[in-house]
Structure 1
Amino acid sequence: RIKKIMQTDEDVGKVAAAVPVIISRALELFIQSLIVKASETTRAKHAKTLSSSHIKQTIQSEKQFDFLKDLVASIPDV
């Protein structure tokens, strides 16, 4: 699936077999980091359910997620 997404871009030529595997692992680690930080935010709010507003607050408070701020701008604060 990652390889297909990469190949939809005209600027991307051939993709070595190892590249989708490496990108997949990098995405797993990124998502894990985001979810762990968001779960800390959820616990700090004494909530039992992780919500989109918790993810938004995490993205806004963590410098490493600054590039995602535009994506969560429309999510309401709770």
Structure 2
Amino acid sequence: FIHSLTDPVQDESFRLVIKPPSYTGLLVVTAEVAWTRDLASSSNVMSRGMGVQFTQISSGDRDFLDSVFSCYY
């Protein structure tokens, strides 16, 4: 889930830059909005955000993510 200050647009493409704590560089990917959420929480603070699907990622960044998430699949 990615928090967003603006209303995400379904299927919109954008550049996403991620700085993982255990990675020496930045992950730079092209992603698109897969789904959105705009719900009020119990504290009446809006929880706006989205899920994304990567559409372009370098092989090195993909290898890094595969190694991080391999224990989940």
Which of the five TM-score ranges fits, normalised by the shorter chain?
Answer: under 0.3
With normalisation by structure 1, the TM-score equals 0.25
Q: Give the structure with higher Rg (CA).
A: 1
With normalisation by structure 2, the TM-score equals 0.26
